[in-house]
Amino acid sequence: MRKRVNTEFWMILPALVVLAAITVFPFIYTVRLSFMHYPMIQIRSPEFAGLENWIRMFQDPKVRFYWWVTLKYVVGALSCEMILGILIALLLNKIRALEDFFTTLTISPMFFAPVLVGLLGRFLLHDSYGVYAYFLHQVGLFKGGSIFGQGTSALLALIGLDIWEWTPLVIIIVLAGLKALPSEPFEAASIDGATGWNKLWYLTLPMLKPVIFVALIIRTMDVMRYFAKIFITTRGGPADATKIVSIAVYDQAFQAYRMGYAATLTLSMLVVTIILGILFVRFFFGQGE
């Protein structure tokens, strides 16, 4: 018996050691950094700053604004992705024969590198030769100027790019959920004379709740985490209108060279992520099995 334990322990050990080295150690480093003034170009040597970075973060109205932008971006992208994704999945579920064909075609945006999605967005929405911009002009939805040059339209465009790229993921998640639904409740409801809409509202959607929740949390975390798309299109501008917290951290670290303050902002993001992560794990994997 003792031997078995040993084998498996040795199997886990390499991954454990590597992960500790590349994630735990950097995490501790980040916490330490948040209590320091640490200019990246070391004209001055790093010095202990106490709680200065933390106090600054809580007092900085800009930080609140970055979170506000993040919230708008997350809610805007997520609400459209979820509604659209669920609707399309429900429809696709009706035509089983074509399902594989359609999913194969719709998943393609997910494989685009975020940076490429941003570049494509710039190309398609360019004020003088963008096809989408031309189309929007023709329809009369957008008049004049550059789409990425104005705060509201830039944020909407970024939300649009995210919807384009990630709605397919919501679709395939919901489809997987639909396939796993038991058929008995639906048969019983049919015998009782329930209409299609009744079944959708009182059976399908409530039973899909956990699946929808998974999609929601995964997408929320990813929308907050990934910033390449914004980085390559607006870099947070114009006038910070698209500066989500990730971009703000990047700017503090690699533009303003305030590594200590950037670390503090990072940790505040981490707190939000941890809350989401705990929700995710608690709901879907249970504890301890």
- CB 242 within 8 Å of CB 155: yes
Residue number with CB closer to another protein (72 or 235): 235
- Out of 80, 102, 146, 257, which residue is the one contacting another protein (CB under 8 A)? 102
Shortest reach from residue 265's CB to another protein, in Å: 8
Nearest CA to 215 among 104, 85, 69?
A: 85
Nearest CA to 65 among 241, 238, 227?
A: 241
Residue number with CB closer to another protein (152 or 190): 190
- Under the binding rule (CB under 8 A), the answer on residue 145 touching another protein is no
- Out of 156, 228, 238, 279, which residue is the one contacting another protein (CB under 8 A)? 228
- Under the binding rule (CB under 8 A), the answer on residue 143 touching another protein is no
Using CB under 8 A, which of the segments 62-70, 74-82, 144-152, 217-225 binds another protein? 217-225
Shortest reach from residue 106's CB to another protein, in Å: 5
CA dihedral 241, 246, 249, 253 (to 10 degrees): -110
Which distant-in-sequence residues (6+ apart) come within 8 Å of 228 by Cβ? Answer: 113, 114, 115, 118
Distance CA 225, CA 269 (A): 9
- Under the binding rule (CB under 8 A), the answer on residue 183 touching another protein is yes
- Out of 51, 75, 107, 239, which residue is the one contacting another protein (CB under 8 A)? 107
Sites for another protein among residues 241-260 (CB under 8 A):
246, 249-250, 253-254, 259
Shortest reach from residue 25's CB to another protein, in Å: 8
The C-alpha angle 64, 68, 70, rounded to 5 degrees, equals 115
Using CB under 8 A, which of the segments 55-63, 72-80, 139-147, 188-196 binds another protein? 188-196
Nearest CA to 276 among 265, 288, 284?
A: 284
Shortest reach from residue 50's CB to another protein, in Å: 20
- CB 157 within 8 Å of CB 132: no
What tokens were used for 40?
Answer: 């990246």
- Under the binding rule (CB under 8 A), the answer on residue 106 touching another protein is yes
